[in-house]
Every structure is written in C-alpha cells, then in structure tokens.
Chains A and B, each alone.
Chain A
Amino acid sequence: MKSAAYSYGDELLSELNISISQGSFYFLTGPSGSGKTTFLKMCYGSLVPTSGALTIFGKESSDLTRDEMAYLRRKIGVVHQDCQFLDHLNVNDNIALPIMVSGQNSLSDNVNLKELLNWVGLSHRSKALPPELSGGERQRAALARAIIMSPDVILADEPTGNIDWEMSQRLIRLLIELNHMGKTIVIATHDLNLIRFTKASVQARVLRISNKRVQLAGSDL
C-alpha cells in the first residue's frame, strides 16, 4: 500500500504505507470500528482504496477488472468472524465451494477433501449443515474452505471472536502450521492473549490501527 486511504464518506483509514511480504505472520489490532475489516477487505480486493495505491500480487487493484479480481481472490483465503457459509449446503460442499466456482469439476484432482477435514478435525461433521455446527467447528470449516485452493495468503477477520479459548488455541495452531508451510497470514483481532500465545511459537508482527493509520506495534505486546 502506498498512501492508500479508504473513506465511507468520512475517512476511516489514511496514509497506509505498508508492504506484506510472502511467508510473514501479521496481527492487525485496534479498537472496534477502527477499520480492521476495511483494511482486510482492501487486501482481498473487496474494496478499492478511495485514494493512493494498493498492489496485490504485483497488480494495481484499481486497474483490475471484476473478473481479474475474482481470479486474484482465489489466491487469497479469507476466514470471517461470521464464517459466511451457504446454509443449504453441507460442510463438505461449503468447503469445496472455491473449487466449484473455479470451474474445476473434480475435487479429487486438486485436493484430498477427507485429509483436509481430518486436519481441521471435522471429518465426522462433513454432512452436517452449517447451522448445526458449533462456533469452533464453523471457524475450522471456514479455515478449511479458505485453504482448499492452497492460497498464498490467508486473511482472518476476528476468527476467534465467537469461540472459547481452547478452541481459539486450536485454530491458531492450524494457522501457525500453515505459516510454517510458507503461507502469509494476516489476522485481525483485539484479543491480546491470542497474540501473546502466537508470538510464543512464531515470529509474528503486530500492526496497530490508531488515528486512521496503521503502525507497527512495539514489543510491549
């Protein structure tokens, strides 16, 4: 991002100058309404900066067509706090959704869905509908969906907001494991315990949104 800003009428974020390198692990913190979700939405191309420049995988986001943006989004896995599932599809189909929309008809050619379900601990819930899942199960299913296309970057917006501490630890361990595989991870959270827990296992940097700007936080966290 170079002098990027976003405004919903009133400016929410301004003078964003940051570069996120491949394989890094970032936390994004800040009070509610500070613009964490807006920042992430810009990162996966759902929002385009109202001023300044944002480059995603070497391409200027404002120059991308709608189709190009959709193709680019397939390289970015997103985990939302509210998970965003299609409630009429079972867990299996929801996780496979990125493969379905990419036009690849056969799941087995791309990824072993069973292995992925095993990895997130949901193999016994594959036929369940999203409303039947617990908060932790939903977050793990969302993570499985985010990584099924083997994206380079995983963005998580308050992924532990609706789950207990034990489940939060389990989820963060999965994200750390992905980071060890070379994936870039950006997690928006205001849970300082989670950040401290993560920093014990991985070299994670913390970005803090304050006064509309993003700053690298010190080691006091």
Chain B
Amino acid sequence: MSGIRKVFLSDRYVNQIVPKNGFTTLLTFFTSASMAFLIVFSVALSSAADRLAQNWSDSLKNSATLRVSAPSIDLEAQTEAALSVLSTTRGIASFRVLKPEEQQALLEPWFGPKVPIKNLPMPRLISIEEDENGYDRVGLRLRLAAEVPAAVLDDHTRWREPLIKAADRIWFLGWFSIGLIVLIVVAMMTLVTRAALSSNKKIIEVLRLVGATDQYIASAFVRKLANQAFFGSLLGSSLASLTLFLLPSESDQAAILTGLRLEGMEWIWLGIVPLSFSFLTFLTTRISSLSILRTLT
C-alpha cells in the first residue's frame, strides 16, 4: 500500500513531468472506457443468467405432476387411486387435480384458446407440492406402478436440469469474458507503457541527469496512465449502466434478454470497475515501466 500512497499522494510536481497531450494517455482513456463498458455488460449478463437459473430452479424444484392417462371409463377410478396413494405418501405437502380450465390454459400456447377440451381424451393432471423433507421418488414410482398403472410421475427434472445447465454456462461465459477483458487490459497497458516510455526517452534522460530514481520516473508515468484509466473506466461503466437502464424491462417471453440489468448490491460494480481499473493499470504500468527502465541506459 505504501507504493500506491507514494504514487498517488507524493509531490504534485510529478503530475507535470509527463506531458498531457501524449497519444498514450488518450489510448489509455479509450481502452479503459471500452473495456469497462464490456465488463459491466458481462457482469449484467452473468447476473441475469444467475437469477434466471435460480428462478427456474426455485419454481420447479419442489413441484411435480402426476399424469393419469386411461380410457375415460377407468379415468375416474385411476385418479381416485392415485390420490389415495399420494395421501399416504410421506413428504408430500399438498396435491390437487387440475381443473379443466387450467388444463386448457396449458394447451393454449400450442392449440389456441378454443380447444374443445371436453371432447378430447385428456389425461388428468395432479399437481404435487412436496414439503421441506421431500418424498421418495423411486418409492412413489414403484407404488404407482403397482397400484395405479395408468399414472406417470413427472418431477420436472428433465426440463429443469438442461435449463439450469444452460444458464450456468451463460454465467460462466460472462465471468470468462471478464477474465479475458482483464488479460487484454494488462496486455494493452503493458504496450501503452512501453510506447509511453519510448516516446518520452528525452524526459527519462533529463530526469536521470538530475538524479531521479527509477521509482520516481515510473511514478510519473504510472500516475498519468492510472488517472486516465480511472476516468476512462468511470465513463465506460457509467455509459454501460445507462444503456442497461434504457433496455426494455423484464418479460416472461425473453427473460435472459430483458433481464439484463444490475440489481441491488450489484450496482456496487459501478464503483468497483473504475477502482479496479486504476489498480490494475497501476500494477501493470508500474511493473512494466520499472522493468523497461532497467533496460534503458
């Protein structure tokens, strides 16, 4: 920390030593702004994917559906038998047979609103909510197979797992992108530092002539570039949050696209990104400038 204090709080004259109008400071500003914009977007994407996975997981994980498919003559008897099995099964908090209009609502997206559901050989659907302990799925399936052969238990696993896996992959990709952006920033700042030192060889020569240490010379460049990185990334993250703010609000149809936003504590990223950029730039430029200065005689 003393190194940072030295760089940012030492004498104010060090600010004047590197000229303001160098192309490297401009390059640092725009690189930081662009990369900060991308980072905030990647964070928003990861957070949206995380929320989506959580929602899907939460909304489906404690529920199941029992489907009773039998000829209409047996349907009532099989349904009663299934309800009887469920009522004696441990771990089930509640269950109920879906009403015809609820079943119609489920079919609406595929067949439209005027399906003559009463004339169709529709199965009976029983919605099951498990309690906090859960029920024995294998045991229930065996009992149903023995006592209600027309019933099929669907615990939504085959729907839920691929969706959660896909959302997890998007979450991982978001953070992987952030990692890549950080690497690009490090590479970019190393090149910028090299360019800044090369284009200011005369300044380095003069500073050495008057007794400047490598740390002092490095500080002059580090301070200039880290300041630019801070203000650039502040602009980039502010523009990114404005863009996120202006995106359409969430809807059920395309949650991953419309849920792209920051929520609650996630807004802290707007502060973290510029500060991290300054720190990353400070570290990168300091290490690379000291190593370059060692090679300059």
Contact = CB atoms under 8 A, between A and B. Distances in A.
Nearest to B19: A88
B213 A78 contact: no
Given A66-B294, A103-B11, A105-B11, A86 B211 contact: no
B127 to A, nearest CB: 75
A212 interface: no
A101 B216 contact: yes
Contact of A67 (B12, B206, B213): B213
A86 B17 contact: yes
A145 interface: yes
A73 B208 contact: yes
Interface residues of A, number: 27
Interface stretch (A9-17, A54-62, A92-100, A120-128): A92-100
Nearest to B11: A105
Contacts of B19: 88
Contacts of A66: 213-214, 294
Contacts of B215: 67
B10 interface: yes
A151 to B, nearest CB: 9
A40 B16 CA distance: 29
A101 B16 contact: no
Most buried by B among A44, A72, A89, A100: A100
A105 B17 CA distance: 14
Given A70-B208, A93-B16, A100 B11 contact: yes
B87 to A, nearest CB: 84
A97 B206 contact: yes
A46 interface: yes
B108 interface: no
B283 interface: no
Given A86-B203, A100-B11, A103-B216, A78 B209 contact: yes
Chain B binding site: helix, strand, loop or mixed by DSSP?
Answer: helix
Given A66-B294, A86-B17, A89-B16, A145 B210 contact: yes
A79 B208 CA distance: 13
B11 A46 contact: no
A90 B274 CA distance: 33
A159 to B, nearest CB: 14
Closest 6 pairs (CB-CB, A-B): A74-B211, A101-B212, A73-B211, A100-B13, A98-B210, A70-B213
Interface of A: 44, 46, 66-67, 70-74, 78, 80, 84-86, 88-89, 93, 96-98, 100-103, 105, 145, 149
Given A66-B213, A101-B211, 18 more contacts: A44-B209, A46-B209, A70-B208, A71-B211, A72-B211, A74-B210, A84-B209, A85-B206, A89-B17, A96-B13, A97-B206, A97-B210, A98-B210, A100-B14, A100-B17, A101-B216, A102-B211, A105-B12
26 contacts: A46-B208, A66-B213, A66-B214, A67-B214, A70-B208, A70-B213, A71-B211, A73-B208, A73-B209, A73-B210, A74-B210, A80-B209, A84-B202, A86-B17, A88-B16, A93-B13, A93-B16, A98-B210, A100-B11, A100-B13, A100-B14, A101-B212, A101-B216, A103-B11, A105-B11, A149-B211
